Amino acid sequence: MSDDTTPPQEPEQGAVPPPPPGEVPPAPPAGGTGAMPPPPPPPPTSAYGAATPYGAPAPGYSPVTAIQYGWAKFAKSPGTLLVPALLVLVVLLVVDGIVQIVLRGALLGTHDCTKTIFGQTVEHARCGPGFFTGIFVSALGGLVASFIAQVLGAGLIKSALNVADGKPVNAGDVFGYATKSNVIATAALVAAATFVGSLLCYLPGLVVGFLTLFAMFYVVDKDMAPVDAIKASVSLTTSRLGETILFYLLGIVVIFVGAILCLVGLLAAVPVVLAAAAYTFRVLNTEPVTAPE
């Protein structure tokens, strides 16, 4: 019998080679095509960067959208942030009024506007404290008001973050956070820096307020130390400079409009800006927020 000299056949390209004798062939992949199944589509996000089932944050940020988000959250449930904001406003107005009366009475009190020249009493045309004394008293009053506002504002920030996260708001947080050491220390540092900036004709004080805009957010939400929180706020605001400046200015406009409406508008303006700031903090840190509806 002659030998079989036929060479072995090469397997076709893409074909699975037969298993060695005695081994069970592996089961074919699902679908029978041999191809890996496609990955699942990415989860959708809303225009406000709402948290998806996978917890994905919004890809972009707009200061105008932040204010719209704050208004939508306020309109949906006005009392959620209104009650804590009202508590803070009442306490702040009372304390600030007392401080202003004391400071102006002590430093800007009555002055003798007469002077005796050659036996004649002459009244000065310009009388009272000087320009720089007025600036100092105003800045000192701002120092006290800023400190109190930030200490009590820590609880408002916690409430606003809870709104953005879809968690219940507890009005007791307003005073609960006011006693925390990191909150007090951060408020003191920011108030002191704002005081120095206000002495330099106010504009540097506004710059300090802008750079430290999110310092208390980092203290409340991330439990950062005061200096680290201030550094993180400066880094966040400067890294997205155009957007954060626009949000800062929009927030000032909203508060100003609320103030000129016989102060009643502040009851809406403050919660709106708070919710917008919480939204801004979350999105710029690539963290999810809940939908406004």
Give 127-139 as a DSSP string: -SS-HHHHHHHHH
Other C-beta atoms closer than 10 Å to the C-beta of 98 total: 11
Q: How far apart are CA 183 and CA 50, in angstroms?
A: 29
Q: Is the pLDDT of residue 85 over 70?
A: yes
Other C-beta atoms closer than 10 Å to the C-beta of 12 total: 7
Per the prediction, the chain carries an average pLDDT of: 79
**CA proximity to 277, closest of 289, 267, 266, 265:** 289
Q: Which residues have a Cβ under 8 Å from the Cβ of 186 and sit 6 or more positions away? A: 150, 215, 216, 219, 226, 229, 230
Q: Identify the weakest region by mean pLDDT among 9-23, 133-147, 177-191, 277-291.
A: 9-23
**Per-residue pLDDT tens digits for 115-129:** 666 555 555 555 555
Q: Is the pLDDT of residue 226 over 80?
A: yes
Burial pattern 99-122, b for ≥16 Cβ within 10 A else e, equals bbeebeeeebeeeeeeeeeeeeee
Q: How far from the centroid of its chain's Cα atoms is residue 192's Cα?
A: 20
Q: How far apart are CA 257 and CA 250, in angstroms?
A: 11
Q: What mean pLDDT is predicted for residues 248-252?
A: 95
Residue 96 in tokens: 């600030």
Residue 223 in tokens: 């439990």
Q: Is the pLDDT of residue 66 over 80?
A: yes
Q: Which residues have a Cβ under 8 Å from the Cβ of 112 and sit 6 or more positions away? A: none
Q: Is the pLDDT of residue 170 over 50?
A: yes
**CA proximity to 90, closest of 263, 254, 289:** 263
**55 or 100, higher pLDDT:** 100
Cα-atom radius of gyration of the chain, to the nearest Å?
Answer: 32
| CB 182 within 8 Å of CB 226 | yes
Q: Is the pLDDT of residue 55 over 80?
A: no
Residue 247 in tokens: 């949000």
Q: Which residues pair with 116 in a beta bridge?
A: 121
pTM listed for this prediction = 0.72
Q: How far apart are CA 54 and CA 253, in angstroms?
A: 36
**CA proximity to 168, closest of 5, 33, 290, 47:** 290
User: What is the number of alpha carbons within 13 Å of residue 206 lying toward its C-beta?
Assistant: 8
User: What is the number of alpha carbons within 13 Å of residue 153 lying toward its C-beta?
Assistant: 25
Q: Which residues have a Cβ under 8 Å from the Cβ of 34 and sit 6 or more positions away? A: 16, 28
